Structure 1
Amino acid sequence: MSSDPVLIAALVAVCIVAARLLTRRLRLPPTVPLVLLGLVIGALPWVPRVELDPQFVLAVLIPPIIYHHAAHRSAPREARAVLGPITAAGIGLTLVTAAAVAAVARLLLPEVPWGAALALGAAVAPTDGHALVRLGHRPLLRGESLIGEGVALVLFAVALEQMEQGVDVWHATAQLAGAIAGGAALGVAFGWLVVRMRRFAKDPGTLLVLSLATPYAAHFSAEHLGLSAPLATVAAGFYVGARGRDLHTPARATERISWQVLVFLLGGAIAVLLGLELRDLLAPTSGLPLGAVALATAAVLVIALALRWVAGLAICRDMLAGFTLGGSRGAVTLALALAIPAVTGRSALVFVAAAVVLCSGLALLALSPAAEERPVEEERRARQSAVSAAIRRLDQVAGRLGLDRGTIWAQRQVLTLEANCGELRDLRSELAMAQRETLGQLYAEGTIGAGTLHTLTEEIDLRDPHSTTSP
Structure 2
Amino acid sequence: MDAATRCRHALAPPGRGLTNQGFARLSMTIVFTTLILLLTVAISGVLIGLLPFRLPRPLVQIALGAALAVPSFGLHVRLDPELFFLLFIPPLLFADAWRMPRREFRRLLGPITALALGLVMVTVICVGFFVHWLIPQVPLAAGFALGAVLSPTDAVAVSAITGNARIPPRLLHILQGEALMNDASGLVALRFGVAATLTGAFSLPKAALSFVIIAAGGLAVGWALAWLFAQVRYFLTQWRGDDPSSHVALLLLLPFGAYLMGEHLGVSGILSAVAAGMTLNSIDTLKGELATRMQNRGMWAMLEFIFNGVIFVLLGQQIPVILAHAGDAKDSIGVDWWHLASYPLAVLVLLMVSRYLWVWVMLKLVVMRARRRGEAVTRVSSRIIATTTLAGVRGAITLAAVLSLPLTESDGTPFPGRSVFVFIAVSVILSSLIIATIALPPLLRRIQLPEDDPRATEERDARAASARAAIQALDRMREEYKAESDDADEASLYAEVAARVMAAYQPWLDPDSDAEDKQRARRGFGMERTLRLAALNAERDELYRLRGQAEINDVTMRRIMADIDLTEASLRSGRRSGKR
Q: TM-score, normalised by structure 2?
A: 0.70
Q: Which residue of 1 aligns with 2:180?
A: 146
Counterpart Cα distance in 2 of 1:278 and 1:255:
35
Q: Which residue of 1 aligns with 2:298?
A: 257
Counterpart Cα distance in 1 of 2:405 and 2:346:
20
Counterpart Cα distance in 2 of 1:114 and 1:315:
28
Structure 1 residues 396 and 147: alpha-carbon distance in aligned structure 2, compared to 1, 3 A threshold: farther
2:386 pairs with 1:321 = yes
Q: Which residue of 2 aligns with 1:33?
A: 60
Decide whether the 8 Å contact of 2:81 with 2:400 is kept in 1. no
Structure 1 residues 140 and 347: alpha-carbon distance in aligned structure 2, compared to 1, 3 A threshold: closer
Decide whether the 8 Å contact of 1:222 with 1:228 is kept in 2. yes
2:466 pairs with 1:431 = no
Counterpart Cα distance in 1 of 2:233 and 2:60:
38
SS in structure 2 of the partner of residue 135 of structure 1:
coil
Decide whether the 8 Å contact of 1:29 with 1:361 is kept in 2. no
Tell me which moved more, 108-117 or 201-210.
108-117
The 5-angstrom pairing of residues 155-174 of structure 1 reads 155-159=189-193, 166=199, 168=201, 170=203
User: How far did 1:335 drift?
Assistant: 4.6
User: How far did 1:51 drift?
Assistant: 0.8
Correspondent of 1:395 among 475, 484, 487: 475
Tell me which moved more, 369-378 or 389-398.
369-378
SS in structure 1 of the partner of residue 88 of structure 2:
helix
Tell me which moved more, 168-177 or 257-266.
168-177
User: How far did 1:240 drift?
Assistant: 1.7
Q: Which residue of 2 aligns with 1:121?
A: 147
Counterpart Cα distance in 2 of 1:114 and 1:435:
70
Q: Which residue of 1 aligns with 2:551?
A: 447
Structure 1 residues 427 and 52: alpha-carbon distance in aligned structure 2, compared to 1, 3 A threshold: farther
Decide whether the 8 Å contact of 1:183 with 1:227 is kept in 2. yes
Correspondent of 1:213 among 253, 256, 275: 253
Structure 1 residues 14 and 339: alpha-carbon distance in aligned structure 2, compared to 1, 3 A threshold: farther
User: How far did 1:38 drift?
Assistant: 1.8
Offset from partner CA, 1:100-158 (integer Å, 9 cap, x none): 33444455456667776555433432333453684212333332232223322322444
Structure 1 residues 300 and 23: alpha-carbon distance in aligned structure 2, compared to 1, 3 A threshold: farther
Decide whether the 8 Å contact of 1:65 with 1:263 is kept in 2. yes
Residue identity over aligned pairs, in percent, reads: 29
Structure 1 residues 91 and 438: alpha-carbon distance in aligned structure 2, compared to 1, 3 A threshold: same
User: How far did 1:269 drift?
Assistant: 0.5
Tell me which moved more, 392-401 or 265-274.
392-401
Counterpart Cα distance in 2 of 1:141 and 1:422:
36
The residue identity in structure 2 corresponding to 1:93 is L
Correspondent of 2:109 among 80, 83, 100: 83
SS in structure 1 of the partner of residue 175 of structure 2:
helix
Tell me which moved more, 223-232 or 193-202.
193-202
Tell me which moved more, 338-347 or 435-444.
338-347
Counterpart Cα distance in 1 of 2:200 and 2:353:
31
Correspondent of 1:298 among 331, 345, 349: 345
User: How far did 1:391 drift?
Assistant: 1.9
Tell me which moved more, 183-192 or 455-464.
455-464
Counterpart Cα distance in 2 of 1:91 and 1:366:
29
Correspondent of 2:287 among 243, 247, 260: 247
The residue identity in structure 2 corresponding to 1:143 is G
Counterpart Cα distance in 2 of 1:426 and 1:335:
49
Counterpart Cα distance in 2 of 1:111 and 1:428:
72
Q: Which residue of 2 aligns with 1:407?
A: 497
Q: Structure with the greater relative contact order (CA < 8 A, sep ≥ 6): 1 or 2? A: 1
The residue identity in structure 1 corresponding to 2:355 is R
Offset from partner CA, 1:372-411 (integer Å, 9 cap, x none): 8854333322222222222222334455799923432332
Decide whether the 8 Å contact of 1:39 with 1:279 is kept in 2. yes
SS in structure 2 of the partner of residue 464 of structure 1:
helix
Counterpart Cα distance in 1 of 2:391 and 2:83:
30
2:72 pairs with 1:45 = yes
User: How far did 1:347 drift?
Assistant: 4.2
| Residue ranges of structure 1 left out of the alignment (5+ in a row) | none
User: How far did 1:430 drift?
Assistant: 3.1
Decide whether the 8 Å contact of 1:253 with 1:462 is kept in 2. no
User: How far did 1:309 drift?
Assistant: 1.3
Tell me which moved more, 351-360 or 398-407.
398-407
Counterpart Cα distance in 1 of 2:46 and 2:145:
33
User: How far did 1:14 drift?
Assistant: 4.0
Q: Which residue of 1 aligns with 2:229?
A: 194
Tell me which moved more, 26-35 or 429-438.
26-35
Decide whether the 8 Å contact of 2:394 with 2:429 is kept in 1. no
Q: TM-score, normalised by structure 1?
A: 0.85
The residue identity in structure 2 corresponding to 1:348 is F
Offset from partner CA, 1:147-176 (integer Å, 9 cap, x none): 22332232244456567x757454666545
| Residue ranges of structure 2 left out of the alignment (5+ in a row) | 1-10, 12-24, 331-336, 364-379, 408-414, 486-490, 510-521, 573-580
2:444 pairs with 1:368 = yes
User: How far did 1:274 drift?
Assistant: 1.1
Structure 1 residues 63 and 117: alpha-carbon distance in aligned structure 2, compared to 1, 3 A threshold: farther
User: How far did 1:218 drift?
Assistant: 0.9
Larger Rg: 2
Decide whether the 8 Å contact of 1:124 with 1:356 is kept in 2. no
The residue identity in structure 2 corresponding to 1:17 is A
Root-mean-square deviation (Å): 3.5
The residue identity in structure 2 corresponding to 1:382 is A
Offset from partner CA, 1:156-213 (integer Å, 9 cap, x none): 44456567x7574546665454232222111111222233344343211122122211
Counterpart Cα distance in 1 of 2:42 and 2:554:
31
Counterpart Cα distance in 1 of 2:195 and 2:567:
50
Q: Which residue of 2 aligns with 1:15?
A: 40
Q: Which residue of 1 aligns with 2:244?
A: 204
Structure 1 residues 311 and 19: alpha-carbon distance in aligned structure 2, compared to 1, 3 A threshold: farther
Correspondent of 1:463 among 567, 572, 578: 567
Counterpart Cα distance in 2 of 1:347 and 1:394:
65
User: How far did 1:44 drift?
Assistant: 4.5
Q: Which residue of 1 aligns with 2:95?
A: 68
Decide whether the 8 Å contact of 2:98 with 2:281 is kept in 1. yes
The residue identity in structure 2 corresponding to 1:282 is L
Structure 1 residues 102 and 47: alpha-carbon distance in aligned structure 2, compared to 1, 3 A threshold: farther
Decide whether the 8 Å contact of 1:270 with 1:334 is kept in 2. no
2:277 pairs with 1:237 = yes
The residue identity in structure 1 corresponding to 2:178 is E
Tell me which moved more, 345-354 or 47-56.
345-354
Counterpart Cα distance in 2 of 1:427 and 1:333:
51
